[in-house]
């Protein structure tokens, strides 16, 4: 067997090729090359042999078959072991030490306007990918160069006598990334071309904004776990739907009751489980005219989820844990909403939803048995970020470590409400704090840089929710024909204390009433707020200062769950004790971005 080192060169990008060949020649490396690479080297005066010198077979099929031969790949894949040496000797094949290869410009080709499928097919490299993968697989012995930027460093090491293990490892990683990126581009192109032939890809109207085109949803393994029964999803619709669905699925699993969520801009506006509604709750949530709601726990759950924060829920994406029935669909038909995702729909309920928005309302059906893999990846500014999916399970049993009071206990209702709040936080943009009572979210602060601002925002929403139950709000005299959205807006102005005093906004406010309500006085507000109690609060990370506890207490909070770890844990816990609040350690941080 020959002792001379052998290099196989087959490159599309010929940057630095002549300098590389010169360095290889100076080190007495035998150079084998194919096609255009061989011609360029020969024309430059280098001693180069065609691949056919070892394959004993000519290039064929217009150059599509050049290096696909045992004489090439056995030489690359052979290891320094006795059995491999014997196999090579029996076939009179020499080991290959260096492979220099990069691939056809598939990305550049498909970036051209109106590129055809035949044009793209011609740029699908076969032999090059095989060379690279074979050499990278055997990088313990073989050096693979797929990037011309590495030629200079390689030659410097070659001149010193050998290529280090660290360099071979680095080159191999780069080679695997090169072929992975290449295959991703190819699969992406053909996924777009053949989207109608399968269920792995869904073309979206546009991305986060109308100018962000093209946009798509796809999976690299198996079919998409959902399908559109009506309407066409957008990018943000799916961001909301695919965050909202696991939330309600987990609520149902944790608490054993149907669950619903109202999602806006990748955070919940509300979430709830299905508990019976009082007559007052039906009126507050605008569902006192829904036939059959008393028999539908799913409809009750959505009424609560939508009713938590009607202003934020305007134009929501809805997630429902169970098969959608007619009462639930009837509520949805009356609200301004972008779409719904659920595991199924009763035939009559689906017909109701299909009529919404002139037939364009988005109705997604998801496979309830679908479970994503343990790893999730996203791309930000061209950089891939990867992490283990947040698969921590939250149940009422998650709240057994009571910090204060030392002899404190949690009622079943308190553990339920902490579960609702905490699972909701798991799918809320951080920082986030959630207030819950009676199996539903009543206030959520999402995406704030400061913890106290989360607590205040969520607390203010909880206060507004409770003020809507005041008899003065329940007795508002609306003008006939006032729309639900206008009612919600007017109520929000009234209960939040943001009533305009004069001008066009004041005129618009007064225009919806038969009798214009007076603003709440501070005394009225304080007296009513004192009646709100037994509220549970959960935080996605520790409370760093006591101001959070004081703010929570103002909204009737009696239970707080949060991770520990702050240097200020002692004062925070002491403040909870002083205010009569049970503080529970929730030992998992739940940041969500």
Helices 17-26 and 151-160: crossing angle, nearest 10°? Answer: 10
Q: How many CA atoms lie within 13 A of 75 on its CB side?
A: 26
Q: Judging by DSSP bridges, how do beta strands 383-388 and 402-404 pair with one another?
A: unpaired
Q: Mean pLDDT throughout 548-562? A: 97
- Arithmetic mean of pLDDT, 498-519: 94
Report the C-alpha gap between 206 and 48 in whole angstroms.
51
Q: How confident is the model at residue 438 (pLDDT cuts 50, 70, 90)?
A: very high
pLDDT at 1: 45
Tell me: pLDDT of 55 over 90: no
How far apart are alpha carbons 230 and 298 in whole angstroms?
A: 21
Active-site residue flag, 265: yes
Domains of the chain, residue spans: 6-193, 227-366, 393-470+526-592, 471-519
Asked if 388 is an active-site residue, the reply is no
Topology at the third CATH level for domain 393-470+526-592: Cytidine Deaminase; domain 2 (3.40.140)
CATH topology (fold) of 227-366: Cytidine Deaminase; domain 2 (3.40.140)
**Over the stretch 286-335, which tens digit does the pLDDT of each residue have?**
999 999 999 999 999 999 999 999 999 999 999 999 999 999 999 999 99
Beta-bridge mates of residue 99: 8, 144
Polymer length in residues for the chain:
593
Mean pLDDT confidence for 506-528? 95
- This prediction has a pTM of 0.82
Predicted confidence at residue 93, as pLDDT, reads 87
Topology match between the domains 227-366 and 393-470+526-592 = yes
- How many helices (H) and strands (E) are present in the chain, helices listed first? 24, 23
- Residue 9, both tokens: 């060169």
Q: How many CB atoms lie within 10 A of CB 308?
A: 29
Residue identified by tokens 């007064």 is 510
At which residue do the structure tokens 């990018």 appear? 235
In angstroms, the Cα distances linking 209 to 124, 173, 233, 520, 544 are: 32, 36, 13, 40, 37
pLDDT per position as a tens digit, 474-484: 999 999 999 99
Pairing state between β 98-101 and 6-10: parallel
The torsion angles phi and psi of 74, rounded to 5 degrees, stand at: -65, -40
Average pLDDT taken over every residue of the chain: 92
Contact (Cβ atoms closer than 8 angstroms) between residue 12 and residue 104: yes
Residue 337: phi and psi, rounded to 5, are: -150, 150
- CATH top-level class for 6-193? alpha beta
For residue 581, give the DSSP letter: -
For residue 195, the model assigns a pLDDT of 58
Q: 137, 283, 357, 554: which is the annotated catalytic residue?
A: 137
pLDDT digits (tens, 9 = 90+) for 191-232: 777 755 457 778 888 899 999 988 888 887 778 899 999 999
Choose, from 107, 174, 200, 265, the residue flagged as catalytic. 265
Tens digit of pLDDT for each residue in 83-109? 988 988 988 889 999 999 988 878 788
Angstrom distance (rounded) from CA 93 to CA 10: 19
- Closest C-alpha to 290, from 327, 315, 342: 327
d(C-alpha 451, C-alpha 462), whole Å: 16
Beta-carbon contacts of residue 78 (< 8 Å; ≥ 6 apart): 84, 85, 87, 88, 93, 95, 138, 141
Q: Specify the DSSP element, H or E, that contains 269.
A: strand 267-273
Q: Which CATH number fits domain 471-519: 1.10.287, 1.10.3470, 1.20.120, 2.60.40?
A: 1.10.287
Tokens of 558: 């009696």
pLDDT at 194: 76
Is the N-terminal amide bond of 431 cis, ω within 30° of 0?
yes
Residue 291 burial by Cβ neighbours in a 10 Å radius (0-12, 13-18, 19+): exposed
């Amino acid at each position: 067997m020959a002792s001379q080192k052998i290099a196989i060169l087959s490159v599309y990008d010929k940057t630095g090729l002549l300098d590389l060949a010169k360095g290889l020649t100076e080190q007495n490396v035998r150079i084998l090359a194919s096609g255009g690479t061989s011609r360029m080297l020969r024309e430059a005066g280098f001693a180069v042999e065609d691949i056919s010198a070892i394959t004993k077979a000519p290039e064929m099929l217009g150059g599509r078959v050049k290096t696909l031969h045992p004489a090439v790949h056995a030489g690359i894949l052979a290891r320094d072991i006795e059995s491999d040496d014997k196999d090579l000797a029996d076939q009179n094949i020499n080991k290959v030490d260096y492979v220099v290869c990069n691939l056809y410009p598939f990305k550049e080709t498909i970036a051209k306007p109106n590129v055809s499928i035949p044009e793209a097919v011609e740029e699908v490299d076969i032999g090059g990918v095989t060379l690279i993968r074979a050499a990278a697989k055997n990088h313990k012995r073989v050096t693979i160069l797929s990037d011309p930027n590495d030629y200079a460093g390689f030659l410097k090491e070659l001149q010193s006598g050998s290529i280090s293990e660290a360099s071979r490892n680095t080159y191999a990683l780069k080679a695997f990334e090169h072929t992975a990126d290449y295959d991703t581009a190819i699969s992406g192109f053909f996924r777009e071309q053949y989207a109608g032939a399968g269920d792995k890809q869904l073309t979206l109207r546009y991305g986060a904004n109308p100018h962000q085109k093209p946009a798509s949803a796809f999976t690299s393994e198996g079919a998409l776990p959902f399908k559109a029964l009506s309407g066409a999803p957008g990018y943000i619709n799916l961001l909301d739907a695919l965050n909202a669905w696991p939330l309600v699925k987990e609520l149902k699993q944790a608490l054993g009751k149907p669950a619903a969520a109202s999602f806006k801009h990748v955070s919940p506006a509300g979430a709830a489980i299905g508990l019976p509604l009082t007559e007052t709750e039906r009126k507050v949530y605008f569902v006192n005219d829904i036939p059959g709601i008393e028999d539908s726990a799913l409809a009750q759950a959505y009424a609560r989820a939508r009713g938590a924060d009607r202003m934020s829920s305007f134009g929501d994406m809805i997630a429902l844990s169970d098969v959608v029935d007619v009462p639930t669909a009837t509520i949805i038909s009356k609200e301004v909403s972008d779409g719904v995702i659920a595991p199924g729909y009763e035939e009559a309920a689906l017909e109701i939803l299909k009529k919404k928005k002139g037939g364009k309302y988005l109705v997604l059906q998801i496979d309830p048995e679908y479970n994503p893999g343990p790893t999730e990846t996203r791309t930000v500014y061209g950089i891939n970020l990867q992490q283990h999916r947040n698969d921590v399970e939250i149940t009422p049993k998650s709240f057994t470590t009571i910090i204060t009071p030392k002899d404190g206990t949690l009622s079943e209702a308190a553990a339920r409400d902490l579960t609702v709040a905490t699972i909701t936080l798991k799918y809320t943009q951080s920082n986030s704090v959630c207030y819950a009572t009676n199996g539903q979210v009543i206030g959520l602060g999402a995406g704030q840089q400061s913890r106290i601002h989360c607590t205040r925002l969520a607390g203010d929403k909880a206060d507004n929710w409770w003020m809507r139950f005041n008899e003065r709000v329940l007795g508002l005299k609306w003008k006939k024909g006032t729309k639900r959205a206008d009612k919600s807006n007017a109520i929000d102005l009234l209960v939040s204390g943001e009533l305009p005093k004069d001008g066009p906004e004041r005129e618009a406010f007064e225009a919806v009433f038969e009798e214009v309500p007076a603003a709440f006085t501070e005394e009225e507000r304080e007296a009513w707020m004192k009646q709100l109690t037994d509220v549970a609060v959960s935080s996605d990370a520790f409370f760093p200062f006591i101001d959070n506890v004081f703010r929570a207490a103002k909204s009737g909070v009696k239970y707080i769950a949060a991770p520990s770890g702050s240097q200020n844990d002692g004062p925070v816990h002491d403040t909870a004790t002083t205010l009569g609040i049970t503080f529970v350690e929730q030992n998992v941080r739940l940041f969500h971005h």
